[in-house]
Structure 1
Amino acid sequence: MPSAFSPSRPVRILLVEDHDMVAEAICLALERSPDLQIVARAASVASALADARRCEPDVVLMDRRLPDGDGVSAIADLLALVPDARVLVLAGEGSASVAARVAELGGAGLILKARGLRELEEAVRRVAAGEVAFSQDLLGDVLERLTGRTPGLGANLTPRERETLHLLGEGHSTAKISEQLGVALNTGRNHVQRVLEKLGARSQLEAVTVARREGLLK
């Protein structure tokens, strides 16, 4: 992909982060470099879409979890507004399946917050130049997922089991899940148990945690 920006001017960055202290630290780190410029800050998906349309950034640096939605799910909407922009997702934790989803939706990369500001700075430059930037501990698995050699965790869930998982994510009890699905209590228990087995979880709470980490739940 060709570069989204001109080398004669700084890379224009829209930062989307709802935690003020994190946002301030990122701004200070990135703006130390004359070739990087924060042109707008947003704290929600809705604000990010409005600012993207107004500022036409080269790079959207997007937190994965925002008050009004999932930053990964917003990639398509952002690219519809600013097709030449590059979206780099910033996450507190990640997995190969989430990173693969970023790539599938047209994102340019996913960087874990624990990797540090220097790596983030380099990742912004790389995606602005048309490259991809995924944390090294995710990259190999991402390539395998995208080439179809390794199925994602939870890929073998049936439609009914996915429905069960979403009800678990909403905090419903097994009895309530059975009622929502219109099945007997024992059948509902079986659905829940199969979800736990397929996610390698020992409890309903762990299943929900794993599902969120893997991008199966928002």
Structure 2
Amino acid sequence: MPSAPRHAPAAAPRRANERITILLVEDHDMVAEAIRLALDRTDDLDVVGRSLSVKDALADAARLRPAVVVLDRRLPDGDGIAAIGPIKAAAPGTRVLVLTGEATPAVAARVAAAGGSGLLLKIGSLDELQDGVRLVAAGDVAFSKGLLGEALDRLTGRSSDLGGTLTPRERETLGLLGEGLGTPEISRRLGVALNTARNHVQRVLEKLGARSQLEAVAVARREGLLQ
């Protein structure tokens, strides 16, 4: 696999009401066209490019700097999951959502460990894909139902007394993360503003020493903070 650029500039934060730019990495024409049409028909999603291989994806991600890369798992020149790290290195700030024809919790765990933000099945609905892209762009995770919990059980945990550092509201927030909810849903469930929910999530991540919501839930499960 080609090495990623080492000094790519950081991606600019997405402004409110700005369309979510997407790089689609899919080598099958019919599948790619169906996905592109499904995403482009919305007001907030914009497919800005398509790559046919891992090699092209690295170059296109560095050039286009999309908010989200929708990445096929199996590509002609390599494994899509193995390409997650190089893609994120080529385009810092870009998030990666993997699409696959079939998946197991072990595959989902590989995606999470590689730094991916989600794994969706191609047999899912186009609405699910649209919502998944939005979640990933917002910094949340998007995994097909039934994959997230078992995948987290496979990730390496830690040993320390982390539970005592969480406030009751942060424990509640952690519980909702454990249900697989994104920040907008957490905001609604807690009855607080979206920014307040984001602050709760961020404090949970900081106290658990996690770099992502997915990692926070994995740590919490290993520490017995979630059932």
Match of 2:60 among 27, 35, 51: 51
Moved over 6 A (4+): none
2:92 pairs with 1:80: no
Q: 1:21 is matched with which residue?
A: 30
Partner amino acid, structure 2, of 1:42: S
For structure 2, the residue ranges without an aligned partner over 5 or more in a row are: 1-11, 158-227
Distance 1:24 1:104 in 2: 30
Structure 1 residue 34 displacement after superposition = 1.1
Corresponding position: 1:146 with 2:117:
no
Displacement of 1:99 in angstroms is 0.7
For residue 136 of structure 1, give the secondary structure of its aligned residue in structure 2.
coil
1:89 partnered with 2:95:
no
TM-score, length basis structure 2: 0.62
Task: Work out the CA distance in 2 between the residues paired with 1:134 and 1:36.
Answer: 19
Contact 1:10 1:36 in 2 (8 A): yes
Please give the alpha-carbon distance, in whole angstroms, between the structure 2 residues aligned to 1:123 and 1:7: 18
2:51 aligned residue? 42
Please give the alpha-carbon distance, in whole angstroms, between the structure 1 residues aligned to 2:72 and 2:35.
12
Aligned pair partner of 2:78 in 61, 69, 81: 69
Correspondence 1:129-140 to 2 at 5 A: 129-140=138-149
The aligned runs of 1:58-207 (5 Å cut-off) are 58-146=67-155
Q: CA RMSD in A?
A: 1.6
* Cα pair 1:42 1:51 within 8 Å, conserved: yes
Instruction: Determine helix, strand or coil for the equivalent of 1:73.
Output: helix
**Shift, 1:147, TM fit:** 5.0
The amino acid that maps onto 1:126 is L
CA distance in 1, matches of 2:76, 2:38: 24
Q: String of CA shifts for 1:144-192, please: whole Å, max 9, x gaps.
A: 11255xxxxxxxxxxxxxxxxxxxxxxxxxxxxxxxxxxxxxxxxxxxx
Tell me which residue corresponds to 2:204.
Answer: none
- Confirm or deny: 8 A CA contact 1:4 1:86 kept in the other structure: no
Whichever residue aligns with residue 11 of structure 1, its letter is I
Assess if the C-alpha contact under 8 Å between 1:4 and 1:130 holds in 2. Answer: no
CA distance in 2, matches of 1:11, 1:54: 16
Count matched residues.
147
Q: C-alpha deviations, 1:57-80, integer Å up to 9, x for none?
A: 000000000000000000010011
Between the aligned residues of both structures, percent identity stands at 59
The answer to whether the Cα contact below 8 Å between 1:5 and 1:129 also exists between their aligned partners in 2 is no
| Secondary structure of 2:57's aligned partner | helix
Deviations 1:65-114 (A, max 9, x none): 00000000000100111120000000000111111111111100100101
2:40 aligns with one of 3, 8, 31: 31
CA distance in 1, matches of 2:100, 2:32: 13
**Whole-angstrom CA distance in 1 between matches of 2:87 and 2:93:** 10
- Give the secondary-structure state (helix, strand or coil) at the position aligned to 2:22: strand
Report the secondary structure of 1:137's partner residue: coil
